[in-house]
């Protein structure tokens, strides 16, 4: 089989937080032993509870955050222990589109400068070439040529997200972590951006880790989908299968809560709100992380952590 562009094994990322007056430190297990592979030209969708570690997973794979355990291979090379300098040539090949287009764009730069910045840092283009490429990128993401001299705050939410995408595409990367790239966009621009990401993928054989909450969109763009809960993968498999026949109780809950764009149907089927608290990532419960909310939880679930097992064409972490 061809070398996957990304492979991670037992990846862990913890955050230390201070709580209480005595400066007692506690650990947040944001990513807790994740293993996965992304093939060249493949999109792996990641969905899951807010705060379950999706962004942290993406950032750790890119080594924006240093992993606490586990290994990351990029195109067959183990980059886990690489220093910043060693990472430099790899950075160009791996980019990120951020969840928060506001926080990630420097307000003092014009749009033209923002899009040119990665090219300037890596000195990949001559001055004239660079100007041309900026225009090309603006066009690709559907912004107008005269937007180049405007500042990020002069744009609406959706327009700013497209600036971020143009930036990520500037260096023609091979792998992009798309962290909720379309959440802030309206339906027709969502469709444009997703079609755009698909087109670039087909042309350049790009790979994506696509994080989003909109399940229909994730399903549309992804070849495979991974479902995360409390820092762990609980189900991963072919996109259509996971959506149509979810196996893990959390995946089932997720699929049932998708709001329906039809007032009458929406009135008829209010999603069942789950009882039970979302556990805190600070004190991970013993056993399956979903057990406190799971309608099928048994004694075994509360005591032991279910391992990720093969179930037909996918893997599921559940004792059922």
How near is the Cβ of 154 to another protein at its closest, in Å? 6
Q: Tell whether residue 60 is a contact of ligand ATP (CB under 6 A).
A: no
Check if the beta carbon of residue 318 is closer than 8 Å to that of residue 306: yes
Of 51-59, 72-80, 237-245, 251-259, which part binds ligand ATP (CB under 6 A)?
51-59
Of residues 276-295, those binding ligand ATP (CB under 6 A): 281
User: CB of 313 within 8 A of CB of 241?
Assistant: yes
Binding flag, residue 213, another protein (CB under 8 A): yes
| Closest to ligand ATP by CB, 119 or 230 | 230
* Nearest CB to another protein, comparing residues 3 and 202: 202
Could you tell me whether strands 207-211 and 232-238 are parallel, antiparallel, or unpaired per DSSP bridges?
unpaired
Question: What is the DSSP-derived secondary structure letter of residue 156?
Answer: -
Residue with smaller CB distance to another protein, 56 or 60: 56
Site membership for ligand ATP, residue 18 (CB under 6 A): no
Residues 136-165 that bind Mg ion (CB under 5 A): 157
Six-digit token string for 36:
């996965």
Widest pairwise Cα distance in the chain: 67
Contact region with another protein (CB under 8 A), list: 6-14, 117-125, 216-224, 305-313: 216-224
User: Whose Cβ is closer to another protein: residue 75's or residue 241's?
Assistant: 241
* Least distance in angstroms from the C-beta of 140 to another protein: 13
| Stretch of residues binding Mg ion (CB under 5 A), selected from 50-58, 143-151, 187-195, 264-272 | 50-58
Among 78, 129, 154, 244, binds ligand ATP (CB under 6 A): 154
Q: Which x/- pattern, by CB under 8 A, does the window 114-153 give for another protein? A: ----------------------------x-x-x--xx--x
Interface positions with ligand ATP (CB under 6 A): 15, 17, 28, 30, 50-56, 99, 153-159, 186, 281
**Binding stretches for Mg ion (CB under 5 A):** 55, 157
């Amino acid at each position: 089989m061809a070398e996957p562009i990304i492979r991670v094994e037992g990846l862990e990322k913890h955050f230390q937080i201070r709580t209480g007056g005595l400066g007692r430190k506690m650990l947040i297990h944001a990513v807790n032993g994740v293993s996965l592979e992304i093939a060249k030209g493949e999109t792996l969708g990641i969905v899951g509870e807010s705060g379950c570690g999706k962004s942290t997973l993406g950032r750790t794979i890119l080594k924006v955050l240093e992993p606490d355990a586990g290994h990351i291979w990029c195109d067959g090379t183990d980059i886990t222990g690489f220093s910043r300098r060693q990472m430099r040539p790899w950075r160009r090949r791996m980019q990120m589109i951020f969840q928060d287009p506001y926080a990630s764009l420097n307000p003092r730069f014009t749009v033209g400068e923002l899009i040119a910045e990665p090219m300037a840092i890596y000195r990949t283009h001559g001055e004239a070439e660079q100007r041309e490429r900026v225009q090309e990128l603006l066009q690709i993401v559907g912004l107008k040529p005269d937007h180049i001299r405007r500042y990020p705050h002069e744009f609406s939410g959706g327009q700013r997200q497209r600036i971020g995408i143009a930036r990520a595409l500037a260096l023609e990367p091979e792998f992009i972590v798309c962290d909720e790239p379309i959440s802030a966009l309206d339906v027709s621009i969502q469709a444009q951006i997703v079609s755009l990401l698909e087109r670039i993928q087909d042309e350049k054989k790009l790979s994506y880790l696509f994080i989003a909450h909109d399940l229909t969109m994730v399903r549309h763009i992804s070849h495979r989908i991974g479902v995360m809960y409390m820092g762990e993968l609980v189900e991963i498999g072919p996109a259509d299968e996971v959506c149509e026949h979810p196996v893990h109780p959390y995946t089932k809950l997720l699929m049932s809560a998708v709001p329906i764009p039809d007032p009458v149907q929406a009135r008829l089927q209010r999603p069942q709100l789950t009882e039970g608290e979302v556990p805190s990532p600070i004190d991970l419960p013993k056993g399956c992380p979903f057990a406190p909310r799971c309608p099928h939880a048994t004694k075994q679930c509360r005591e032991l952590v279910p391992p990720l097992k093969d179930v037909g064409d996918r893997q599921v972490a559940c004792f059922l």
